[in-house]
């Protein structure tokens, strides 16, 4: 029997206790890798009305590792996670922006802390259950366009990708479920997790209330500059939001902006309100995975997870793109996009390759 070309390659798989990472571990073992499962303990704090499911997730991951007959470890990143992800997220909301904690978790924890810890422990590679693909240090979209997670991974470095495997990016989600059943994994029927990445079923408003306490109420102001109601904290509202405004009458209202200094939230009933639609946007905190994109070339951009890709061109501000250190890039869109939201990520693609992106300002 011929020896697998992957034999002896040590891969540490981040196992969350879900079906995706379970199948990742099973596939890699099947392919001949020397697989070790690792549970990342990022958050274990119970919240009012919700017990943190980390113990159940840990046990599910361990159960799968036993089934696969692979070593199993736990890394505790709670202190770093609190600082790098949770504190960042809360501060962004306090500043009036709408951050994406999953992006920061991938950048700071999974593909920095976890990768470093695994390599120091003797791993050659890490693997995750993301629906994306890796090829020669480049990040590609997953085969399942509905589940593709490259949007959340755009801040990962080329070096990290050189040490990363994402095997389920080659599959559609239903097939991953089938594989879990075929492997006989304990997590085959487990439901996908919902809500904020670290607090399970608790919504973002409840979490912010828990972290910061009740907020100062203020005016909700319509397009005619008329106060039509009171909000319960400007931090809870995001651009484009329609539900949860509690202002009655006729047409629905949409959030188009907010002033944190004045503690006002601005809304409109006009779907064509110019504050709701944009033909361009500006990005800061830029990160390009491999190299800086070309100015003037047509790319595509995604302004939120699962939003449609829109054609665009990039123009640099503050310094030329070939300097590799541009502070701000302007993204000129081929069509108007609704509800561009400060703090969110906009991610740039060239075909199925994720180039990187930045934070909407």
Residues found in the chain: 361
Give the list of residues 6+ apart from residue 157 with CB closer than 8 angstroms, or none: 111, 289
85/355 Cα distance (integer angstroms): 23
Q: How many CB atoms lie within 10 A of CB 230?
A: 12
Q: Which residues pair with 328 in a beta bridge?
A: 317
Q: Please confirm, yes or no, whether 118 is among the known catalytic residues.
A: no
Q: Please confirm, yes or no, whether 312 is among the known catalytic residues.
A: no
Beta strands of the chain (E only): which ranges? 10-14, 34-41, 72-76, 125-127, 132-135, 138-141, 164-165, 218-221, 227-231, 254-259, 264-268, 277-288, 299-302, 310-317, 328-338, 345-350, 353-360
Of the candidates 118, 197, 312, 354, the residue annotated as catalytic is 197
Q: Which ranges of 255-331 does DSSP label H, i.e. alpha helix?
A: none
Q: What is the DSSP letter of 110?
A: I
Task: State the catalytic residues.
Answer: 105, 197
């Amino acid at each position: 029997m011929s020896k697998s070309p992957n034999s002896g390659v040590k891969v540490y798989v981040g196992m969350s206790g879900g079906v995706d990472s379970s199948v990742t571990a099973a596939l890699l073992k099947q392919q001949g890798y020397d697989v070790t499962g690792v549970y990342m303990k990022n958050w274990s704090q119970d919240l009012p009305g919700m017990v943190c499911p980390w113990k159940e997730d840990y046990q599910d991951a361990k159960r799968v590792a036993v089934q696969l007959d692979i070593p199993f470890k736990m890394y505790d990143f709670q202190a770093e996670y609190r600082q790098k992800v949770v504190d960042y997220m809360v501060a962004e909301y306090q500043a009036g922006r709408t951050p994406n904690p999953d992006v920061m978790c991938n950048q700071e924890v999974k593909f920095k802390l976890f990768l470093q810890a695994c390599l120091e422990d003797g791993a050659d590679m890490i693997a995750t259950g993301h629906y994306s693909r890796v090829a020669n240090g480049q990040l590609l979209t997953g085969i399942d366009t509905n589940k593709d997670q490259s949007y959340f991974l755009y801040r990962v470095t080329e070096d990290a990708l050189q040490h990363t495997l994402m095997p389920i990016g080659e599959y559609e989600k239903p097939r991953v479920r089938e594989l879990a059943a075929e492997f006989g994994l304990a997590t085959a029927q487990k439901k996908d997790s919902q809500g904020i990445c670290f607090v399970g079923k608790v919504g973002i408003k409840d979490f912010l209330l828990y972290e910061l306490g009740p907020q100062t109420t203020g005016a909700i102001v319509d397009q005619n500059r008329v106060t039509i109601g009171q909000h319960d904290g400007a931090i809870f509202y995001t651009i484009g939001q329609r539900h949860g405004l509690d202002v009655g009458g006729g047409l629905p209202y949409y959030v188009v902006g907010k002033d944190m200094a004045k503690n006002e939230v601005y809304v409109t009933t006009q779907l064509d309100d110019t504050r709701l639609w944009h033909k361009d946007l500006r990005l800061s905190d830029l990160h390009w995975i491999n190299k800086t994109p070309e100015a003037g070339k047509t790319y595509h951009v995604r302004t939120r997870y699962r939003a449609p890709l829109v054609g665009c061109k990039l123009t640099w501000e503050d310094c030329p793109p070939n300097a590799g250190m541009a502070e701000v890039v302007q993204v000129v869109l081929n069509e108007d996009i609704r509800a561009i939201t400060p703090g969110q990520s906009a991610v740039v693609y060239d075909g199925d390759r994720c180039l990187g992106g930045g934070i909407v300002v």
